[in-house]
A and B are shown apart, each in its own frame.
Chain A
Amino acid sequence: MSIKEIQEEIVDEFSMFEDWMQRYEYMIELGKSLPLIEEQYKTDDHIIKGCQSKVWVHAALEEDKLQFTADSDAIITKGIIAILIRTFSNQKPMDIMNADTDFIDEIGLKEHLSPTRANGLVSMIKQLKLYAVAYQTQMN
């Protein structure tokens, strides 16, 4: 599936919920299925700055696609990074670089998009895209 298709799928899943509480509960559920980062990568090098909770992300290139793993010490943050990774993992670096993330607004998490928000969703997106840029440069 393309990034766009996965995002549409996520928007579809979230549209079933009537209120924020159900959406948050689902997001927390999604956090539980996050592909976890290996302990050896839980270092300062892999921490995303700008988050009040700790978020670690690792990326690896398999054939021509990126595979992300991550973890967080806060479970709402873990849910957010899980959603992002679901859209970006198993995708080509160039597609990740070019992807938009407007679907975050559509699933009712708009408040997390503010760049001044302490959870750093914007920092997370930036970091995932930076990984894509780095690997794309390597591939060229």
Chain B
Amino acid sequence: MFDVNKIRADFPILQRTVNGAPLVYLDNAATSQTPQQVIDVIVKYYSEYNANIHRGVHTLSQEATDAYEQARLKIKEHFNAAKAHEIILTSGTTHSINLVANGFTSLLEAGDEIIVSAMEHHSNIVPWQMLCERTGALLRVIPMNKEGALEMDAYLELLSNKTKLVFCNHVSNALGTINPIKKIIDEAHAVGAAVLVDGAQAAPHIRPDVRALDADFYTISAHKVCGPTGVGMLYGKEQWLQKLPPYQGGGEMISEVTFEKTTYADLPHKFEAGTPNICGGIAFGAGLDYMNAIGFDAIASYEEALLKYATEKLLKIEGLKIYGTTAHKTAVISFNIEGIHPYDIGTILDKLGIAVRTGHHCAQPIMDFFQIPGTVRASFSFYNTKEEVDTLVAGVERAKNMLS
């Protein structure tokens, strides 16, 4: 049974105050908060078995290696990958994307085409622009409409036998739109292109099945799913990961080294040079455990109700406009009030203890599309409550009165 008060008690940070008011944390799309269960795992690691992994003969090293590999298995199960070595542990989504973009340098030729969507995070635009500069490939963009949905007809027209790669987020960070990712993948495969899905904003809300989606690559950051920062996942189909060259050289990723030639280690170690974020990887697994114990179906239906409630209440404020109004979206509300700068609203909300994000959300092309400097973004999690929505709405009204 989903009990939000019981869940909230797991998160020590939710008990604190900000500027004298109880914290209302609505910046979950930037990072999720950490439950005690995950904090305990981190403390236990450093208190009991902190050691380097994959090479020690001693007990601590063995325990740490087991826990780290156990976490990889959990991640594999969670995303329904076929094999554990298809899960590469990275420093996060940005690292994962750069790893793939770098790897494709040797697989592309001038004139090949790469397609990205118009609603990408900068981290899913810039690496591809850099890849295009290196290879002479061309970057094409799937446009979006006023509701914040991708124009699928335009996408189909962009696809051709020149298309080698398609990159798209599963869920837009700035708008919350859930993209028709299965269709995007199927159509790309029909012309022989590979697809990388940025799942950073999807994973906190839905449980992606990489095999059902048939994604070639799928990436997330642990800190969006109750885990720590600085660790994330790149899922890649085995045949793709074998095709890509290593990204960084170093320890851990080699099989044999002489000064004449180095042979690389097998997957996943080929892409995991150096000492990894061991504790982070273990805590990543613990974050997924925590969310799975609540259940993603329960999370999704709770958040959907919260989104509906918040949308209805916010829209009652005169002059408030929501960006990203498709029926199919996660619990993210990007909005502005006519004539008021989002930064001003964010500042007043902060004084009231309400944490939101303001600005362009690392998605400037979206802001340019709507011709706005930015938005106020309230992003909800399963530990937020209707009462917090009421506090937000009252805060926005207060800000509006002060600022207009």
Contact = CB atoms under 8 A, between A and B. Distances in A.
Interface of A: 20-21, 24-25, 28, 52-54, 73-77, 118-119
A125 to B, nearest CB: 18
Interface string B344-384: 10011001000000110000000000000110000000000
A53 B359 CA distance: 8
B57 interface: no
A22 to B, nearest CB: 10
A73 B341 contact: yes
Contact of A119 (B347, B351, B374): B347
A52 B374 contact: yes
Contacts of B340: 75
A48 to B, nearest CB: 14
B402 A74 contact: no
Contact of B343 (A21, A24, A25, A119): A119
A28 B400 CA distance: 13
A41 B348 CA distance: 29
B351 A74 contact: no
A76 B347 contact: yes
B239 interface: no
Contact of B348 (A24, A52, A54, A119): A24
B344 A76 contact: yes
A134 B348 CA distance: 36
Contacts of A73: 341, 373
Contacts of A25: 402
A73 B359 CA distance: 13
Given A20-B351, A21-B402, A24-B402, A74 B19 contact: no
B12 to A, nearest CB: 23
A118 B19 CA distance: 18
B317 interface: no
A52 B358 CA distance: 8
Contact of B373 (A54, A75, A76): A54
- Interface size bucket, B side? 10 to 19
Given A20-B351, A53-B341, A74-B343, A118 B359 contact: yes
Nearest to A54: B373
A75 to B, nearest CB: 6
B343 A118 contact: yes
A20 B358 CA distance: 21
A53 B343 contact: yes
A54 B342 CA distance: 12
Given A76-B403, A119-B343, 10 more contacts: A20-B19, A52-B358, A52-B374, A73-B341, A73-B373, A74-B344, A77-B343, A77-B344, A118-B343, A119-B347
B53 to A, nearest CB: 34
Contact of A75 (B19, B344, B374): B344
Contacts of A118: 343, 358-359
A96 B74 CA distance: 60
Contacts of B347: 76, 119
Contact of B351 (A24, A52, A53, A75): A24
A79 to B, nearest CB: 10
B343 A52 contact: yes
A52 B403 contact: no
A103 to B, nearest CB: 20
Nearest to B359: A52
Contacts of A28: 402-403
15 contacts: A20-B351, A24-B348, A24-B402, A52-B359, A54-B373, A74-B341, A75-B340, A75-B341, A75-B344, A76-B343, A76-B344, A76-B348, A77-B341, A77-B344, A118-B343
A28 B401 CA distance: 12
B27 to A, nearest CB: 13
A126 B351 CA distance: 25
A100 to B, nearest CB: 25
Going nearest first, the 8 A-B pairs with the smallest beta carbon separation are A74-B341, A53-B343, A74-B343, A52-B343, A74-B344, A76-B344, A76-B347, A52-B359
A24 B344 CA distance: 11
A49 B84 CA distance: 46
B377 to A, nearest CB: 13
A21 to B, nearest CB: 7
Contacts of B343: 52-53, 74, 76-77, 118-119
A118 B344 CA distance: 11
B397 to A, nearest CB: 13
Contacts of B359: 52, 118
Contacts of A76: 343-344, 347-348, 403
B290 to A, nearest CB: 30
A19 to B, nearest CB: 10
Interface in B64-109: none
A119 B373 CA distance: 14
Contacts of B374: 52
- Among A20, A24, A52, A119, the one with the most B-chain Cβ atoms within 10 Å of its Cβ is A52
Nearest to B19: A20
Contacts of A54: 373
